[in-house]
Structure 1
Amino acid sequence: MKVHVSTFGCSANQASAEVMMAAIRDQGHELVPEEHADVVVLNTCTVKYTTEQKILYKIRELGIKGIELVVSGCMPEVQLEDIIRSNPNAHVLGVNSISRIGEVLNSIASPDIRSQSTSRQALHVFSHEPEGFINVPRLRFNPNIHICQLSQGCNNTCSYCIVRSARGPLRSFHPDPIVKDIEQGINEGCREIWLTSQDNAQYGMDTGLRLPQLLERICAIPGDFKVRVGMMNPFSALPILEELLDAFENSKIYKLVHLPVQSASNDVLKRMNRFHSIEEANLVINSFRDRFDDLTLFTDIIVGFPGEKDVDFLKTIKWVRDYMPEKVNISRYTPRPHTKALEYRNIDSRIVAQRSNELHDVCEKVKVSVRNSMIGWQGRVFISKEAKLKGLMARTASYKPVVIPESSAVPGSSCDVEIFDATPGYFLGRVII
């Protein structure tokens, strides 16, 4: 059959899509653009209302067209009724069941199934435990980047977040298979390793060996490669902070910290059921900046959470100006099913939009300031991959993106560059001898 895979959401979802695409290919099916597909696999995300609505529209559209559909990812776990209501004939693959995509496709392809009317019974495949996430073939979106999922699920109970309901409690994968998985990615030519999960700093809370020790084992793997440590919550990073700082000293780890503060108001954080204060989040950030002068900071902020007053929002604005994160993922709060915050009274959507726009403007000014401060910078960069348009995409030790328009270097190597210009998304650099 001709199959198209469309994926939404986080890097963990992207990794799942890579695993499913390899399984589809290895079972003899053909991966094609959507317009040529007999079957479409929608690997879904439901963190945001806007994404959910986009996906539900797509589910309805494919049903109207009579195209076979497999819905995977987070939505089947928490919004199965919405999927069935949108398309009763959609097949469903639970978030832990990506290794069973072949089973679903083979059933669709069988003559007994395909000859039946559209009223036939759709397949619903769910697994309680995660299977097939590591040490399996991949068909990567980028052949130079290996995404390794460290765990499934989360022990947080943030009042706004649906992910805990979708992916369940924390289940950390054993370190030996993780190291083997990364070794395999390196042997297949990958030179950038992305570590992903719902909260990387939670890794090992349920098993004993924590993230710093895992990082030591990963960095001990022979070869020229770099490690990007994904999102860590402040309250998960704080208990292992000193060990984490020591682990980040390794030159193979990008000096990048993705630490979602969500709000700079402790009153709002309490209503969000975040297990940290803004002072504790600042302690984590300051500790990393004290140790690493060129640290890059990413964060996430939710605007317009129920109960957020003007004074709360102004604290967040001030925090962004003071801490100057290079990247801020701004989300306008929307209620999600199966969450505590669904019970809260929402703020007027016009106020939420106004605050979002104001925060966006402040973040853009911060980005311009950071970009301008990098003009004339000279230093060592790691060649990550081919650039989208021309040349090579490189990364500084702190993961800042530098496009080198002219270079004979290859991904996985390093060179010295001077940054001579900047665009909204990346810096421009020239090789220096």
Structure 2
Amino acid sequence: MKVYLATFGCAANQSSSEIMASSILEKGYSLSNEADAEVVVCNTCTVKYTTEQKILHKIKQWGFEGKEVVVTGCMPEVQLEDILESNPDVHIMGINSIADVCSVLERIESGEKGLRVSTSAPEGFLNIPRKRFHSSIHICQISQGCDNSCSYCIVTLARGPLKSFEPEAIVEDIRQAIAEGCREIWLTSQDAAQYGNDIGTNIGDLLKQISAIEGDFRVRVGMMNPFSAYPILDEMIEGFSNPKIYKLLHLPIQSASDKVLQRMNRHHTIEEANVIIRRFRDAFPESTIFTDIIVGFPGEFDEDAALTEEWVKQIRPDKVNISRYTPRPHTKAWDFRNIDSRIVVERSGRLHELCDSIKLESKEKMVGWKGEVFVSKKAKVKGFMARTDAYLPVVIPQEEGVSEGQRIMVEITEATPGYFIGRPL
């Protein structure tokens, strides 16, 4: 049986697809391109309306082409009716049921129709073989779900309440990945700072245990919400202090207006977010700050948008993921009155211009920088992708004398929109 694995969305979905890909191959099935596939396993994302619509279109198209379609990921948990309307013949596999993918394929092969497979607790996410997207990068999911309920977020409804995986299982999963040759570890979850709230630990303690693993590797910590990070700020910073942890803080503020944050049910003030950033920068002067901002949330007025723009000017984050608000079904904000789309487009465009100008200024200042980088993987075209301690991307065009997992001194000679170019010293 030829199987095409279509993956949409976050690093957690990528990790799930890596695990399913390995299971599919181990069972004796083959991984195929989209055109030749007999079965499509679609690992879905429902964070954004545009992604949802693309997936629904593909599900319908695959049905017209006569392919068997298995839908998993977030969408079946919250948008089953939309999926069935696009393709009534799909098979559904719950978000926690990735370990069942081969049994589903076997049942399809035997002729069963309209399968519905679901598991209440997450199973098969750690210490299991996988076919990685990048042979030197291991994506480790440390928890499933979230205990907060942001008024715009559908992911909490899809993935359920927080279920932190045991530290011992995570450490063993990473130790095995390093033994297999991985040199960069991505910790993924819906909110890394919530990790351990349900099992009496926290992300800081987990980072200490991971850092104690033998070997030369680096760890990228995933997104942390301000309301989760603020109560454990001391422990979090202590966990980041080990040189094996990239000094990257991904802290989505979503808005710099406390009034808008309250409507978003974000449970933090912008000043609390600022405290986290100041403390992180004080502890790690050469650090990188990522954030996410939603533009045009219902109830956002011009003065609220101006507060967010002023915040960007003052904090100068290194990267800003800007999203225009779109209502998601089953969320509290679904019933809010939306802002005129023309206003949202104008605010989004203005914020993009501001963020791009700040990013360009920061990049230009890095030209001529000399320091140590960690070589994490092969570059897309030629050479290798390396990272500074602050996770800044540096492409080293040459291949001779450079290898994954190596630490080398470089000089940044050029800044492009997406990365720096460096030459070994």
Question: How high is the TM-score relative to the length of structure 1?
Answer: 0.97
Match among 155, 159, 163 for residue 171 of structure 1: 163
Secondary structure class of the residue paired with 1:35: coil
- Is 1:6 the counterpart of 2:6? The answer is yes
Counterpart of 1:428 in structure 2 is 421
Q: How many angstroms apart in 1 are the aligned matches of 2:319 and 2:107?
A: 44
Matching residue within 281, 292, 298 for 1:300: 292
> Which residue matches 2:75?
75
Q: Distance in 2 between matches of 1:365 and 1:34?
A: 39
Task: Give the drift of 1:61.
Answer: 0.8
Partner of 1:118: none
Q: Deviations over 1:230-285 (max 9, x none)?
A: 00001101111011111111000000000000000000000000010000000000
- Give the deviation of 1:32 after TM superposition: 1.0
SS of aligned partner of 2:238: helix
- Percentage identity across paired residues of the two chains: 61
Separation of aligned partners in 1, 2:79 and 2:398 = 49
The one-letter amino acid paired with 1:429 is: G
Deviation at 1:109, TM superposition (A): 1.1
State the Cα deviation string for residues 103-141 of structure 1 (Å, max 9, x = none). 11001111x44xxxxxxx310111110001111111000
d(CA) in 2 for partners of 1:252, 1:323: 26
In 2: Cα distance, 1:383 partner to 1:346 partner: 46
**Is 2:199 aligned against 1:188?**
no
Aligned partner of 1:265 among 257, 268, 282: 257
1:65 equivalenced with 2:65 (yes/no): yes
Structure 2: 5+ residue stretches without partners: none
Does residue 414 (structure 1) correspond to residue 403 (structure 2)? The answer is: no
Query: Which residue among 246, 271, 276 is the counterpart of 1:279?
Result: 271
Letter in 1 for 2:402: A
Q: Tell me by how many angstroms 1:202 deviates.
A: 0.3
Match of 1:354 among 321, 346, 357: 346
Q: Show CA shifts across 1:21-51 (max 9, x none).
A: 0111111000011111001111000011110
Residue in structure 2 matched with residue 198 of structure 1 by the alignment: 190
Matches within 5 A, 1:18-29: 18-29=18-29
* 2:100 corresponding residue in structure 1: 100
Counterpart in 1 of 2:126? 134
Aligned residue in 1 for 2:150 = 158
* Alpha-carbon distance, 1:312 to partner: 0.2
CA distance in 1, matches of 2:384, 2:66: 42
Alignment of 1:380 onto 2:380 = no
Task: Name which of structure 1's ranges 63-72 and 279-288 shifts more when overlaid on structure 2.
Answer: 63-72
The DSSP-based 3-state class of the residue aligned with 2:208 is: helix
Asked if residue 289 in structure 1 is aligned to residue 266 in structure 2, the reply is no
Counterpart-to-counterpart distance in 1, 2:179 and 2:343:
52
The answer for the alignment partner of 1:116 in structure 2 is: none
- State how far apart, in whole Å, the 1-side matches of 2:358 and 2:128 are: 41
Does 2:207 match 1:229?
no
Q: Matched residues in 2 for 1:62 and 1:336: separation? A: 25
Find the aligned partners of 1:278 and 1:272 in 2 and give their Cα distance. Answer: 13
Give the whole-Å Cα distance in 1 for the aligned partners of 2:217 and 2:119: 34
**In structure 1, distance between residues paired with 2:194 and 2:235:** 14
| 1:211 paired to 2:203 | yes
Unaligned runs of 5+ in 1: 114-120
Q: How many residues align?
A: 424
Report the AA paired with residue 2 of structure 1.
Answer: K
Distance, in Å, in 1 between the alignment partners of 2:358 and 2:100 is: 45
Runs of 4+ deviating beyond 4 Å: none
Q: What is the match of residue 52 of structure 1?
A: 52
Corresponding letter in the other structure for 1:273: N
Q: Over aligned residue pairs, what C-alpha RMSD do you find? A: 0.7
* AA at the equivalent of 1:12: A
**Following the alignment from structure 1 to structure 2, what is the Cα–Cα distance between the partners of residues 375 and 159?**
42
**Aligned amino acid, residue 413 of structure 2:** F
Letter in 1 for 2:353: D
- Residue 99 of structure 2 aligns to which amino acid in structure 1? S
- Work out whether 1:330 is the aligned partner of 2:322: yes
Offset of residue 94 of structure 1: 0.8
Amino acid at match of 1:337: P
Matched residue, 1:365: 357
Instruction: Specify the alignment match of 1:399 in structure 2.
Output: 391
